[in-house]
Amino acid sequence: MRKNIVAGNWKMNLLPEEGVDLVKSIIELDRPNDVVSIVCPSFTHLHAIREVLNDQSQIHLGAQDCSTHDSGAYTGQISAPMLKSLGAEYVILGHSERRAYQGESDELIREKTINALHHDLQVIYCCGETEDIRIAGNYIEHVLSQIKKAIFNLEETQIQRITIAYEPVWAIGTGKVATPDQAQEMHAAIRKSVANHYGEKIANSMSILYGGSCKPSNAKEIFSNPDVDGGLIGGAALKPADFVALHHSF
């Protein structure tokens, strides 16, 4: 059975104590039991936020990136074992902001993914096309090629620990949201491609999230699509009432 997921990508926002307050506010609000909640704060906040989470809070902790290396002379990088030891269960990899501002390639993202899985993290793998590619019309080929290069080399046991987040770059932080049909078209193509490579069973059990200006006012329509299993949420994840409302949008 695939899971419905609402994951908050806080990006480079909030001070640690503000992050703790945000999580405390989320915990106080009523959420359905059958939706998986994940928060992904900055590295610097993981420890403090882990401290306020417990079994009752039903919130999973994730990070926004990790190194391909376990340790060594890599100034400024954070390794998967470090994230694990801080209690992170998930890591977002391949976010378009890292592809754009840190020049991350599909090959690098593939290495990061293998390393994160090796250290028992679950991966939220991000893909998506720019506006130019959307206008040119080859957006499905583009996204499927990103996926193929980064995660189709994984073994069956590994791919089952991947959640794909389809995030059209033109919709991230812009207020422009994909229409429900645009989201469904891409999600169905992704699932079909996973099915062709790994079989129907694995494809049907994989959660595929939509990301890009998703908020309570548009989530219901997007999440109601058969191949959309929730969202990777930026801006709306910083507002407790909105983040929680998204859990009630399935």
Which tokens is 174 given? 């812009």
Return the amino acid letter for 132.
Answer: D
Q: Which residue is nearest to ligand PGA (CB)?
A: 234
Q: Which residue's CB is nearer to ligand PGA, number 97 or number 227? A: 97
Number of residues that bind ligand PGA (CB under 6 A): 13
**What is the rounded distance in angstroms from the CA atom of residue 86 to the CA atom of residue 47?**
6
Q: Which stretch binds ligand PGA (CB under 6 A): 55-63, 111-119, 206-214, 240-248?
A: 206-214
Mode of pairing for the β-strands spanning 35-40 and 59-63? parallel
If one asks whether residue 209 binds ligand PGA (CB under 6 A), the answer comes out as: no
If one asks whether residue 233 binds ligand PGA (CB under 6 A), the answer comes out as: yes
Choosing from 107, 141, 173, 199, the residue that interacts with ligand PGA (CB under 6 A) is 173
If one asks whether residue 128 binds ligand PGA (CB under 6 A), the answer comes out as: no
Q: Which residue's CB is nearer to ligand PGA, number 38 or number 117? A: 38
Nearest CA to 192 among 180, 184, 200?
A: 200
Choosing from 214, 222, 244, 245, the residue that interacts with ligand PGA (CB under 6 A) is 214
Cα 120 to Cα 59, 116, 157: the distances in Å are: 18, 7, 12
Nearest CA to 99 among 46, 61, 150?
A: 150
**What is the rounded distance in angstroms from the CA atom of residue 195 to the CA atom of residue 189?**
10
Choosing from 194, 235, 245, 246, the residue that interacts with ligand PGA (CB under 6 A) is 235
Helix (H) or strand (E) holding 196: helix 180-198
Q: Which residue's CB is nearer to ligand PGA, number 117 or number 235? A: 235
* CB of 42 closer than 8 Å to CB of 10: yes
If one asks whether residue 127 binds ligand PGA (CB under 6 A), the answer comes out as: no
Which residues are known catalytic residues? 95, 167
If one asks whether residue 234 binds ligand PGA (CB under 6 A), the answer comes out as: yes
- Name the residues that contact ligand PGA, by CB under 6 A: 9, 167, 172-173, 211-214, 232-236
